[in-house]
A and B are shown apart, each in its own frame.
Chain A
Amino acid sequence: MSLLQVKELHTHLQSGGTLVKAVDGVSFTIEKGETFCLVGESGSGKSITALSIIQLLPQGISSHPAGNILFDWRKDSGSHETVEMLTLPDDKLCDIRGSRIAMIFQEPMTSLNPVYSIGEQITEALLLHHPGMSDEEARARALKAMQDVQIDKAKSRFNNYPHQLSGGQRQRVMIAMALACEPDLLIADEPTTALDVTVQAEILKLIHELQQRKGMSVLFITHDFGVVAQIAHKVGVMKQGKLVEVGETQQVLRQPKHSYTRKLLAAVPDNLPRRDTQPTDTNTLETLISVKDLDVFFPIRKGLLQRVTDYVRAVDGVSLDIKKGKVVALVGESGSGKTTLGRAILQLQRPTTGSVKMLDTELVGLNNKELRPWRRHLQIAFQDPQSSLNPRLLIATALTEPMKVHGIGESDEERIELAADVLESVQLKREFLWRYPHEFSGGQRQRIGLARALALNPEFIVCDEITSALDVSVQAEILELLLDIRKQRDLTLLFITHNISVVEYLSDETVVMKQGKIVEQGATADVCGNPQQAYTKKLIAAVPRL
Chain B
Amino acid sequence: MNKARKKGETFTHRILRLSFAGWGAKIGLAWVALLALLAVFAPFIANSMPLLASENGKITAPVLHFLSIEDIVVLAAFFILVTLFLSPLRQSLKTLLLTFVILIVGVTIISKQLIVEKQNIVYTEFREQIAANKYDWVVMPPIPYAPRDYLRDARRPPLQAPLADKQYLHWMGTEENGGDVLSRMIHASRIALGIGFLATGIAMVIGVILGGLMGYFSGVVDILGMRLVEIFESIPTLFLLLTFVAFFGRSIYIMMVIIGLTSWSGYARYIRAEFLRLRKQDFVQATIASGLPLRSILFRHMLPNGVAPLLVGVSFGVASAILAEATLSFLGLGLVDSPSWGQMLNQAVKSSVFNWWMAVFPGGAIFMTVFAYNLMGEALRDAIDPQLAKKAGVVT
Instruction: State the A residues within 8 Å of B (CB).
Output: 16-17, 343, 346, 348, 368, 371-376, 378-380, 382-384, 387-393, 398, 401-402, 405-406, 431, 434-436, 439, 449, 452-453, 456
Contacts and interface: CB of A to CB of B under 8 A. Distances in A.
Interface string B1-37: 1001101101100000000000000000000000000
A371 B291 contact: yes
15 contacts: A348-B289, A371-B291, A373-B291, A375-B289, A379-B289, A380-B286, A382-B286, A383-B282, A384-B282, A392-B10, A393-B301, A406-B291, A431-B1, A435-B4, A439-B8
A46 B281 CA distance: 30
B106 interface: no
Nearest to A406: B291
B283 A435 contact: no
Interface in B273-295: 281-283, 285-294
Nearest to B305: A392
Contacts of B364: none
Residue among B4, B5, B289 having the largest count of chain A Cβ atoms under 10 Å: B289
Given A435-B4, A436-B8, A439-B4, A390 B283 contact: yes
A382 B285 CA distance: 9
A485 B354 CA distance: 84
A375 B10 CA distance: 30
A441 B305 CA distance: 20
B304 interface: yes
A402 B282 contact: no
B296 interface: yes
B91 interface: no
A88 B363 CA distance: 61
B56 interface: no
B396 interface: yes
B290 A405 contact: yes
Nearest to B223: A306
Contacts of A388: 282-283, 286
B301 A435 contact: no
Contacts of A382: 282, 285-286
A387 B290 contact: no
Nearest to A368: B294
Nearest to B8: A436
Contacts of A434: 1, 4-5, 8
A430 B121 CA distance: 68
Interface string B291-325: 11110100011001100000000000000000000
B286 A452 contact: yes
Contacts of B281: 387
B283 A389 contact: yes
Contacts of B304: 392
Contacts of B11: 391-392
Contacts of B293: 405
Contacts of B396: 16-17
B289 A346 contact: yes
B289 A390 contact: no
Nearest to A402: B290
Interface string B216-241: 00000000000000000000000000
Contact of B291 (A375, A387, A393): A375
Nearest to B395: A16
Contacts of B5: 434
B356 to A, nearest CB: 51
Contacts of B289: 346, 348, 375, 378-380
B389 to A, nearest CB: 12
Contacts of B291: 371-376, 402, 405-406
A428 to B, nearest CB: 14
A127 B224 CA distance: 53
A371 B4 CA distance: 38
Nearest to A403: B290
Given A373-B291, A402-B292, A405-B296, 6 more contacts: A343-B285, A376-B291, A392-B10, A405-B292, A434-B8, A452-B290
